[in-house]
A = this chain, B = another copy of it.
Amino acid sequence: MAKVTLQTIADRLGVSRATVSYAFSRPDQLSDGLRRRILEVADELGYAGPNPTARSLRLGRAGALGLIFSETLAYAFADPYSIGFFQGLATAAEDAGVGLLILPLPHGDRRSDTVRDAVVDAFCVMSLPDGHPALAEVLARKLPVVVVDEPYVPGHPFLGIDEPAAGATAARHVLELGHRRLGVAMVGLHEDGHTGWAGPERQRAATFAAMRARREGYQRACEEAGLDWEQVPFYEVARNSREAGRRAGHALLGRDPRPTAILTNTDVLALGVLDAAADLGLKVPEELSVVGFSDSAAEEAGLTTIRQAKQEMGAAAGRLLLSGGTAAPERLLFPYELVVRASTAPPRS
């Protein structure tokens, strides 16, 4: 069966290609009888309908939004914060009747042309580390772009929260409860897969801008409270998993003196820290306070965290991209909120 196009049908009926096109896309331009006959023949020949690619080319619109995410897709789908954002974005796409093209980025050195070849009308870039090659590829496409969380790209709308302020809020919470011995567990600072202690230089050199800024907030709050940041144990993990959190928890809780409060930059990590505390028989919050981030998996575990409007951010990103990019603000900062639950309390004196 050779390919069936508009022309095939036109030839078969002795009419012009344009006529057949009208039969599909503009019924009012044709007599009912001819239209019926065209559709009949189309059906008979097994015509699959106007080729979307050709249509897309002619009409100059792709009908899809591209989504770029630094992690592997499997990972992105495993992260509650990302999922919340996807939901919002998907809702916006749904409302506009466009698809969401999720673009895998080559992991490792394998090169791929997914960004260059993506048939989309706009890009949403999320959580890319500084200098990631995909960003350059996206910008080269000269399509509307919004960036979420990181990195900041001058000239394109940015959606996120005031990271330093949010980080400081989380830290200040435990500091104001009276904690003086803090520990920090963070994921997603670097791309090198390192797990272990991280000193100040390494912390400052983080390639993920949002996490770097969040950490700066932690530090600022600590220093404002008179703590020496260099003395705050800082454990970095490579994967945002409960298991990694447990490992960080064990490392931090194994220190002498033991921290009485641990800050984490994701809820999933915080849950792992709670696991570690349980392993050691430490009571939370009596003997240990834990703060998460994003409020993505915190409620049931009674975790104190910073709540972010993930879905609203996704929806806003979608609307921004689909509105034709008119009058987009440079920086769209969303509200965040400290949610105090049962994982934090004053330290035992």
Q: Which A residues have a C-beta under 8 Å from some C-beta of B?
A: 46, 48-57, 62-64, 66, 72-74, 76-78, 83, 86-88, 90-91, 93-94, 97-104, 106-107, 112-114, 116-119, 140-143, 311
Known: A118-B52, A119-B62, A140-B48. A97 touches B74 (CB 8 A): no
Known: A99-B103, A99-B104, A100-B101. A93 touches B117 (CB 8 A): no
Of B49, B53, B77, which contacts A119 at CB under 8 A? B53
Tell me if A118 and B53 are in contact (CB < 8 A): no
For A116, list chain B residues within 8 Å (CB).
Answer: 49-50, 52
For A143, list chain B residues within 8 Å (CB).
Answer: 48
Complex Cα–Cα for A72 and B94 (A): 8
* Smallest beta-carbon distance A111→chain B, Å: 9
Complex Cα–Cα for A58 and B97 (A): 26
Q: How many copies does the complex hold?
A: 2
* 10 A-B interface contacts by CB (under 8 A): A48-B143, A51-B57, A52-B119, A56-B119, A63-B118, A66-B99, A90-B102, A93-B104, A98-B104, A99-B118
Tell me if A56 and B117 are in contact (CB < 8 A): yes
Complex Cα–Cα for A66 and B64 (A): 11
Tell me if B87 and A114 are in contact (CB < 8 A): no
Complex Cα–Cα for A106 and B99 (A): 11
For A72, list chain B residues within 8 Å (CB).
Answer: 90-91, 94
Of B49, B78, B94, B141, which contacts A104 at CB under 8 A? B94
Residue of B nearest to A89 (CB): B73
* Smallest beta-carbon distance A139→chain B, Å: 10
For A87, list chain B residues within 8 Å (CB).
Answer: 73-74, 77-78
Tell me if A114 and B97 are in contact (CB < 8 A): yes
* Smallest beta-carbon distance A65→chain B, Å: 10
Of B57, B97, B102, B114, which contacts A113 at CB under 8 A? B97
Complex Cα–Cα for A99 and B94 (A): 18
Of B46, B54, B91, B114, which contacts A98 at CB under 8 A? B114
For A311, list chain B residues within 8 Å (CB).
Answer: 74
Task: List the 10 shortest-distance A-B pairs measured between CB atoms, nearest first.
Answer: A73-B90, A94-B104, A74-B87, A48-B142, A97-B112, A100-B102, A53-B57, A99-B101, A119-B119, A77-B87
